[in-house]
Amino acid sequence: MSDIRYHAMADGRHIAFRLAEGRGPNRNGPCLVFLPGYMSDMAGSKATALFEDARAEGRPALLLDYSGCGESSGDFAEGTLSRWREEVLALVDAYVNAPIVLVGSSMGGWLMLLVGEALGSRLVGMVGIAAAPDFTRWGYTDDQRARLAAGEIVYEDNPYGPEPTPTHPGFFADAEGHMRLSGDIAITCPVRLLHGQRDADVPWDTSLRLAEALRSDDIQVTLVKHGDHRLSRDSDIALLKRTLSSLL
C-alpha cells in the first residue's frame, strides 16, 4: 500500500490513511469511510476490496488505522472509542467534501454509531458487518467487568493470532459512556446490517437489537446462515459489495 498518507493530530498522533479521490460521474457521490474492528486495521480484506472497487469506479473512499493500530502511531493501550471517534472525524473534516456512507466492522459498527451521530446531515448511509455496539456490557462476565473497573487489564484467547487479546481499563471506562442499545439512536439514514449466524464473537441478534434501537425507518438486516464473525469469504465480500452498491 504505497499510497498511505499520515494526518497529524494536534497532540502529535499521526493517523495513517488511504484516500481515493472521486472522479468522473461519481466524483461527487457519497464517500465510503470504513471503520475496522478492535485491533484491526485498513489492510483487511473487506476494507481493501471496497476501497479498490471505489477507486476503480471513481468513487471517493477513505480508510484509516486508529492510533495504536496498523501504520498509525500511538499506544494501543491508550485507545478508546472517544479517541478513535475524534480521529475519524478529523480525517473526514480534513479530506472529505462529500456526503458520508459509514461501513463499520465489529467494534467499528459501534464506532460508526458515535461517528454517525456527530456527522449529522452529512451521513447518508450506514452498513454494519457483525456490528458490536455495547460489547463491553454483554461480552464480558461480571468478574471481568469488575476487574476492568478496578483498573486491571483483561486478556482473552485470540482465535485470530497467537497473542491473547487485551482489553484495557481505559477503553472499558470510556465505553461505559457510549452505550447505545438501551435507548433511542438518533440516526435516520438508510442502514444495512449484515451478520453471520455462526458468529462466535458477536451474537447475531445484536444486529436485530440495533435495528430496533435506530430511529431510521429504512433498515434491512441480512443474516448469513453459515457466516462467521469475519464475513470475509468471497461470497461474504460479494454480498457486502452488493449491499454497499445499493446505498451508493
Catalytic residues: 106, 199, 229
187 vs 235: CA distance, rounded Å: 29
Residue 88, phi then psi, degrees to nearest 5: -60, -45
* Angle ∠(119,123,125) on CA atoms, nearest 5: 145
248 vs 12: CA distance, rounded Å: 35
Convert 188-222 to b/e letters by CB count within 10 Å (16 or more is b): ebbbbbbbbeebebbbbebbebbbebbeeeebebe
Cell numbers for 143, please give them.
Answer: 468478574
29 vs 60: CA distance, rounded Å: 7
Print the SS3 string covering 19-59: EECCCHHHCCCCEEEEECCCCCCCCCHHHHHHHHHHHHHCC
Residues 6+ apart with CB under 8 A from 109: 35, 128, 129, 130, 131, 132, 133, 210
Q: What are the helix (H) ranges across 129-233?
A: 135-138, 142-149, 169-175, 205-213
